[in-house]
Structure 1
Amino acid sequence: MKENFDFLMPSVNFFGRGVITKIGDRAKMLNMSKPLIVTDKFLRSMDNGPVAQTLASLDAAGVDYAIYDGVEPNPKVRNIQAAKQVYLDNNCDSIITVGGGSSHDAGKGTGIILTNGDDITKLAGIETLENPLPPLMAVNTTAGTASELTRHCVITNEETKLKFVVVSWRNVPLVSFNDPMLMLDVPAGLTAATGMDTFVQAIEPYVSTNRNDITDGQCVQAIKLVEDSLRQAVANGHDIEARTKMVEAEMLGGMAFNNADLGYVHAMAHQLGGQYDAPHGVCCAMLLPIVEKYNIIAAPERFAELAKIMGEDTTGLSTRDAAELSIKAMRQLCDDVNIPRSIKAIGAKPEDFELMAENALKDGNAFSNPRKGTKEELVQLFQEAYDAE
């Protein structure tokens, strides 16, 4: 556990029903004269959806804007290059992202190449950015990645099929907006995938080597909120209380991993997502029970505490047996929200495991994992996830 640490999050975070109406006024306060709206075609097409409501708020405040709606899932280098061109062609001076993690990562990536050089692949790593991004605000529409809060920018190199991460305090948006009302119509499958990402982003910081007392508290509350609300949100997307709790969990988990970092689940999930263009939350969820069971020997007491946090009865059990119950609880949550057990479901191929294991160990999230593994061990973890039933 770290005793000396910095703590990063946006300077302003709007939360609750109707906060999306504040976007225009906040843009004016930040002297945004013409922001680029970075989003996807589906959100832009929705009648009175998140994009429409964002534009209405900007119009009411008299703020001009341009729009790039070409964001793809697992955003690609080509997406941020296209967005940069729209930004330059329209003389924009700032960025507002509208969507889930893909839109936020694409907006961050666009800002990065606008100010730090056109080849973002050379900037992968931790604190590689020398120059600030254009002013950035993030309007969030899923309870998932927490990218609207964090210093992480995840982009896929479509040529190598490699996901890479640019981690920098310069990526943290100036303002975030989390309005649960924007999430009521998110489909059950996407709710499950993004919700499991939130769950993993609370589990991994809790056992991270970079954890601290502040992030521990955020993780504990986030895990409890997910246990209390994810199943309900998947079962009934219009359950406003469940949606609100999931947004709270997402924000807490994002704050936690923004400062305590993650681990092998995310490092390996990035390889699955890049190689097979698979949903990030699903990749994380399929790997979670397998990777964390591998991690138990590095921090058995922490995993025993996780079992209690997730509602398991550990009375009279040894620390190791209690720790094993946490894995059972993780698996049960995945099953309850219909996450596939095997990575076969996303098209994984054993012949790719060696390269993916090698790249996972280079991922920026790998260094804070509680157990230090070898390439051969990560190959075996991928194989276990492939053979899972």
Structure 2
Amino acid sequence: MAHRMIWNQTAYFGPGSIAEIPRELVARGFTKALVVTDQVLVDTGVTARVTTLLDEAGFAYEVFSDVAPNPPIECVQAGVAAFATAGADVLIAVGGGSPQDTCKAVGIVTANPEFADVRSLEGVAATRNRSVPIIAVPTTAGTASETTINYVITDVERQRKFVCVDPNDIPLLAVVDPEMMATAPRALKVATGLDALTHAIEGYITAGAWELSDLFHLKAIQVIAAALPGAADGDDEAMERMAMAQYIAGMGYSNVGLGLVHAMAHPLGAFFDAPHGVANGILLAPVMAFNASSSAEKYRDIAAAFGVDTTGMGIEDARQAAVVAVAALTESLGNPTTITEIGASEADIPALAQAAYDDVCAGGNPRTATVEQIADLYRSLL
């Protein structure tokens, strides 16, 4: 069986690595950038860390800051128009998952205008042209959008989120600078860190996993389990490790898929505008428990990555230890543990369950789940 792995052409890591951006822009022959970001990052001065470098280098740019959380179709279309108006030839994504995903969609639609409705990009899109070149600068340690072939857009009219999978969207260059992540609020660090952990665990047990992706995911689990609490509380060294670990997880899951946690989290974001990482944190341990019997020895590896001594432990105990370790970390970080806390009620469960069942990520789950089983999982979290 052939396994395909796709990553960035080039990536920079470490404190201060954003200083490489102007040199890369000039070396690659670009002349003007559209910086895709959100207003919070503009107001807090985070975006300015990049635009100041562009100013100092005399590199032309304009800023599109109308990105919303869980970015809707309309946001993408506005970004496409802004890129055309700017006369730019390169995109710079500065932000967490929402600006990164918006930027990818803008780049893809610009290069493939027949997909201007955006909805038609859902699933494995049949685009023919590579995206407008993107330099991706993440400001959170979570989504790893800077190195994945995936992005998620919200269809507000139909009250759903949809996943787009397209090798043509991967950023040309990723700049993973932990200093760009350090000033994020604690709650955001927790949510995005739990998103990264979910990527690593789901990627490790997904149906498409194989030996090379396993190396990435197991290392990411180990680092995140140790570093996330410190990173959330402002430890710079832990933040640097989280920045690396979430990227490593992205290198894996982008190429092998995810599972039921993401399938169930997407409707929670679409229905209640719940932050994606918060939803993943609520779901991760319960869905792991649901999947335990289908994951062979891999739960033993997950438990060991959390520091559990599994020597001589039976497989059932090892699986339980992995679930308990994840649940304990989630609780210790203060993430919500019920879907009631983000606005869901019993009346919402049928629609949530059907949406999760239909989500593209559900196909990668190691255990097939029926609509009724998904509904029961949601119900157990009220």
TM-score, normalised on structure 1? 0.95
Distance in 1 separating the partners of 2:59 and 2:239: 30
Find the counterpart in structure 2 of residue 243 from structure 1: 239
Distance in 1 separating the partners of 2:241 and 2:84: 39
Distance in 1 separating the partners of 2:359 and 2:316: 29
Percentage of pairs with the same residue: 36
1:171 aligns with 2:169: yes
Letter of the structure 2 residue corresponding to residue 60 of structure 1: E
Distance in 2 separating the partners of 1:216 and 1:284: 20
Distance in 2 separating the partners of 1:20 and 1:292: 37
Q: Paired residues, what number?
A: 380
Find the counterpart in structure 2 of residue 196 from structure 1: 194
Match of 2:103 among 85, 89, 107: 107
1:26 aligns with 2:24: yes
Q: Secondary structure at the match of 2:230?
A: helix
Find the counterpart in structure 2 of residue 342 from structure 1: 338
Find the counterpart in structure 2 of residue 384 from structure 1: 380
* Contact kept in structure 1, 2:225 and 2:305, CA below 8 Å: no
Matches within 5 A, 1:1-389: 3-47=1-45, 49=46, 51-116=47-112, 117-235=115-233, 237=234, 239-386=235-382
Distance in 2 separating the partners of 1:75 and 1:30: 29
Structure 1 residues 353, 128: CA separation in 2 closer, same or farther (over 3 Å shift)? Answer: farther
* Contact kept in structure 2, 1:112 and 1:120, CA below 8 Å: no
Q: How far 1:314 moved relative to its partner?
A: 2.3
Q: CA RMSD in A?
A: 1.3
- 1:186-234 deviations in whole A, cap 9, x for unaligned? 1111110011111111100110111111111111111111111111112
* Contact kept in structure 1, 2:147 and 2:170, CA below 8 Å: yes
Letter of the structure 1 residue corresponding to residue 372 of structure 2: E
Distance in 1 separating the partners of 2:337 and 2:185: 20
Q: Secondary structure at the match of 2:116?
A: coil
Distance in 2 separating the partners of 1:353 and 1:115: 39
Question: For structure 1, which segment, 240-249 or 56-65, has the greater mean C-alpha deviation from structure 2 after superposition?
Answer: 56-65
Distance in 2 separating the partners of 1:256 and 1:133: 21
Q: Secondary structure at the match of 1:148?
A: helix
Q: How far 1:256 moved relative to its partner?
A: 1.0
- 1:38-62 deviations in whole A, cap 9, x for unaligned? 0001111234x2x112112222333
* Contact kept in structure 2, 1:128 and 1:166, CA below 8 Å: no
Letter of the structure 1 residue corresponding to residue 285 of structure 2: P
Q: How far 1:115 moved relative to its partner?
A: 2.6
Letter of the structure 1 residue corresponding to residue 43 of structure 2: S
Distance in 1 separating the partners of 2:359 and 2:175: 29
* Contact kept in structure 2, 1:22 and 1:57, CA below 8 Å: no
Q: How far 1:150 moved relative to its partner?
A: 0.6
Q: How far 1:174 moved relative to its partner?
A: 0.4
Distance in 2 separating the partners of 1:384 and 1:128: 38
* Contact kept in structure 1, 2:226 and 2:306, CA below 8 Å: no
* Contact kept in structure 2, 1:215 and 1:256, CA below 8 Å: yes
Structure 1 residues 350, 131: CA separation in 2 closer, same or farther (over 3 Å shift)? Answer: farther
Structure 1 residues 359, 130: CA separation in 2 closer, same or farther (over 3 Å shift)? Answer: farther
Q: Secondary structure at the match of 2:319?
A: helix
Distance in 2 separating the partners of 1:302 and 1:249: 19
- 1:146-185 deviations in whole A, cap 9, x for unaligned? 1111111100011112000110101110000111111221
Q: How far 1:325 moved relative to its partner?
A: 0.8
- 1:95-133 deviations in whole A, cap 9, x for unaligned? 110001111001011122223321111220024322221
Question: For structure 1, which segment, 353-362 or 10-19, has the greater mean C-alpha deviation from structure 2 after superposition?
Answer: 353-362
* Contact kept in structure 2, 1:261 and 1:365, CA below 8 Å: yes
Ranges in structure 1 where 5+ consecutive residues have no aligned partner: none
Ranges in structure 2 where 5+ consecutive residues have no aligned partner: none
Q: Secondary structure at the match of 1:300?
A: coil
Letter of the structure 2 residue corresponding to residue 64 of structure 1: A
